[in-house]
Structure 1
């Protein structure tokens, strides 16, 4: 049994590293694949994963693992999340060159000419910091009352009918937004060749620095319509210069590339950058389990606690269940572990088992809903809450934690696909399998698990709820018999939707929990 002082040390180590900060004490990134190797290479990359999977940690750790001739510049797009275009691009460029200015002597030498080049660039960027963005905001405000906007794709789901047809006004607004962006980019575009010449002068003057990794973290914080333009300019800036971008973001909440009027804007996957996927999902649960196990052991080692002592805090299926409850996301898993460490281990002197995780998972589900509300736009919150209600109601009605959707339906129904992707990003549902065949229907399907907090009110599942255990070797085979969520079933649930989705969503679980007592 661990001593109180050891438990306190473990709690301290994990708490201080739950959210990675730039100037925190170094924490190692646990890589079970090639992510770290890719992150330090002279190649453009986009790092995709849900929040809490270690994107920021990978960037910081890779900066400490660079060859001497490589340097890194780190930017967090959360610093620019409420800034409008093109000022957001100007400010990102200014941040890059301020970092170069700070390191110019160490990286490029003490030549006075180089210092003046950076000063001239920063002065130029100040003049480009315009206030004409108000025009775009006026356009957005005016069109907001005219159009049906919803999710990130600009699709309103009228009463959750999942009708993906755009109105003419929606299409016009999207095109108008891109036209305005192009107009504002003209001066920056004209300046780009000279800017690249200045960068070549810097590299030519250096005998040590042969490349820079430009780390752009949390791109999804920028406005969706701005992202492709920012990526486009960064990509063109880096081209034919030894600067390589590493963009970290949520895959389904980001637009890195678009094609407007036959003109490509942004950077295209596999052509302009290579993807690094560090999201550990239920589709390969052993791999996800291994990753979370290694991370927990690393923190245990920092606290002077052995593997046997760490795993001795669990009983039965406790650790596997903890990873399930956290959706495989390390930050969520560790947050739940800290709570259980306090409530179960320290206060009660017990061990963490399946029941302890079940009780906590319901509160965790409510926290995820609150997080979704805080991060989503006002005009999409209600639709997202109703979407959660639809999926939760379907799973409880079918008494199954896994549901499948035909891939053809997801491809054809933009609104349904947008909903599913958003709920994946917010860990309300979890990806379990793709290209899955079903025993009772033709076609291929994607399988998803609803968060265990949705059915945590059941004290006993036997005979009441069928839980396909994603940790089991036969899980994929059992998924082939999982209930199919199709358009007809969605429409039937929509017809009985309550007026206040979130209130009903949470009250329903409270009533069911009370009936279990």
Structure 2
């Protein structure tokens, strides 16, 4: 006779362990009969080694008295669920995407290299080379991921490095920040040195200097300390190169950026040391020509352009699809095809303007909105709603990335562009003459860096030879999903290569001198 109460206790024990190992999510399952008694079959759309390991772990941790001991299995889901968005695999996918939206040196832990998605232009081959690099791209384009790729390669080979999250020093423009950054670096490097206490001692000394109120004294003291730091650095790097990573370098004040790089270069140059930094190009100043400070490309540092905006939409679509498919596979799905069709993917790439993190964020919100509407797959209407809401997040990004005086100049320019596109011309894209010396064009570039405008083509000649124009698209968030903007012509309509003739016919926004 079957003791149903005992079975329920045994089953609940197993389901509890499943939730424990999947952080609160339990896989679908069936209790089946066979000659030697009941057994549990967990179901998943795309069984993988990860999930087999979890089932084995559950079995190892249940006592012999449990009725289902050694009677657990993992099988492929027999058929596609009618409610694909509600299955556990999609719940896992939502959580994984959410966790991946902010990348730092801890993201994915030891699984980083296995889960990493290569960039469109395969910059990974360059970033691992022993050289100074600056990685440029918009927020969310994968700058931190590329730096982390290089860092994890060093970590796997037990080579010394220091990772500095420059967000700690956002908007700082005092010389004390130089001391604070050096303090972090020397403390990090203490873990790789036999003279760890010497590194910690100088780190403490630099930390105190970073908290000093006397800027002139700080700078003078740092200049005197530099030879000592360089010597210690050299002793560490004699057998293996030492790499310094500066993530989100653009957040510190433009004027202090060359100063930071100048003192770091004084320590690493000719010392088997290398600097790799990431930043938004329009907000980054790595070389001060007047003071001759910083790192001057291409002599001192190599530039890696990670972000191509919407100039290669078909490649960007493939890249974003690959990222989503990798996340899906990790979570037990074959890919995202059962959740999102090609029409949705086209709109996702354009809505995110080919920025991977924006695409992931919009996809995540599309899932939630589609579930709330009881839809069976992510829908374009849900995506449109998420896109409209996302513009507020980009405005918040300004507070993190732009300084007050620059913001005051750029935002009025944005209002004029919105009026030109949405009220005057009724089209989402336009041309602007390339005029590097004007403040208005500088504001345009800042708006590109802040993801309010997106580049469709970097330089075309619609009329007279010698007059070059940049083709731009106003961010979807300003008009998609908004009833009053339904009359706006959307350009481009698909994430495909654009015809130059179509670009030449776009309206021209006159530069304001």
What range is the shorter-chain TM-score in? 0.7 to 0.9
Partner of 2:128: 40
Greater relative contact order, per chain length (Cα 8 Å cut-off, separation 6+): 1
**Within 5 A, what are the aligned runs for 1:217-256?**
217-256=247-286
Please give the alpha-carbon distance, in whole angstroms, between the structure 2 residues aligned to 1:97 and 1:466: 52
Q: Which residue of 1 aligns with 2:219?
A: 185
Cα distance in structure 1, aligned partners of 2:234 and 2:404: 45
Q: Which runs of 5+ in 2 are unaligned?
A: 1-80
Cα offset, 1:341, TM superposition: 0.5
Q: Which of 351, 357, 360 does residue 325 from structure 1 map onto?
A: 351
Distance in 2 of aligned mates of 1:321 and 1:440:
34
Deviations 1:292-344 (A, max 9, x none): 1111111101101012xx12222451111111111211111111111111111
Which of 290, 297, 303 is the aligned partner of 2:318?
290
Distance 1:13 1:116, change over 3 A: closer
SS in 1 for 2:300: coil
Q: Partner of 1:417: helix, strand, or coil?
A: helix
Shift in CA distance, 10/198, structure 1 to aligned 2, threshold 3 Å: closer
**Separation in 2 of the partners of 1:268 and 1:98?**
28
User: Structure 2 vs 1, CA of residues 126 and 468 (structure 1 numbering), >3 Å: closer, same or farther?
Assistant: closer
Paired position in structure 1 for 2:243: 213
1:124-144 CA-partner distances (Å, limit 9, x unpaired): 42564463457xxxxxxxxxx
Which moved further from structure 2: 351-360 or 212-221?
351-360
Verify the 8 A CA contact 2:369 2:382 in the aligned structure 1: no
1:29 to 109, 116, 127: 116
Moved more, 284-293 or 195-204: 195-204
Q: Which digits, 9 at most, give the CA deviation of each residue in 1:460-513, with x for residues without a partner?
A: 9997525333624444331111111113xx58xxxxxxxxxxxxxxxxxxxxxx
Change (3 A) 1:450 1:123: closer
Superposed, which structure 2 residues align to 1:473-512 within 5 Å? 473-487=497-511, 490=512
Q: Does 1:448 align with 2:472?
A: yes
Match in the other structure for 1:269:
297
Q: CA RMSD in A?
A: 2.6
Q: TM-score, normalised by structure 2?
A: 0.76
DSSP-derived class of the 2:353 partner? coil
Distance in 2 (CA, whole Å) between partners of 1:34 and 1:361 is 29
Q: Do the aligned residues in 2 keep the contact of 1:36 with 1:62 (CA within 8 Å)?
A: yes
Aligned residues: 423
Q: Does 1:299 align with 2:382?
A: no
1:382 to 1:211, Cα distance in 2 relative to 1, 3 A: closer
What is the rounded CA distance, in whole Å, between the counterparts of 1:345 and 1:286 in structure 2? Answer: 29
Question: Quick check: which one's helix share is greater?
Answer: 1
Q: Does residue 102 of the first structure (1) align with residue 132 of the second (2)? A: no
Unaligned runs of 5+ residues in structure 1 are 135-179, 492-517
Structure 1 residue 120: deviation in Å?
5.0
In the alignment, which of 365, 368, 375 is matched to residue 391 of structure 2? Answer: 365
Q: The residue matched to 1:446 in structure 2 has which SS?
A: strand
Q: Is the 8 A contact 1:468 1:475 kept in 2?
A: no
Tell me the SS of whatever aligns to 2:153.
coil
Equivalent residue number for residue 176 of structure 1:
none
Q: 1:9 pairs with 80, 92, 99, which one?
A: 92
Instruction: Identify the match of residue 164 of structure 2 among 65, 70, 75.
Output: 75
- TM-score normalised to structure 1 length: 0.75
Q: Mean alpha-carbon deviation: is it higher for 289-298 or for 73-82?
A: 73-82
Q: Give, in whole Å, the separation in 2 of the partners of 1:322 and 1:73.
A: 36
Give yes or no for the alignment of 1:51 onto 2:51: no
Structure 1 residues 473 and 327 mapped into 2: Cα distance closer, same or farther (>3 Å)?
Answer: closer
Q: What's the counterpart of residue 142 of structure 1? A: none
Spell out the pairing of 1:368-407 with structure 2 (5 A cutoff): 368-373=394-399, 375-396=401-422, 397-407=424-434
Deviation at 1:365, TM superposition (A): 2.0
* Match in the other structure for 1:419: 443
- 1:8 is displaced (CA, Å) by 0.8
Instruction: Provide the C-alpha distance between the structure 2 equivalents of 1:127 and 1:478, rounded to a whole number of angstroms.
Output: 60
Structure with higher Rg: it is: 2
Give the structure 2 partner of residue 139 of structure 1: none
2:314–2:496 contact (8 Å) kept in structure 1: no
Q: 1:429, 1:62 → 2: CA distance?
A: 30
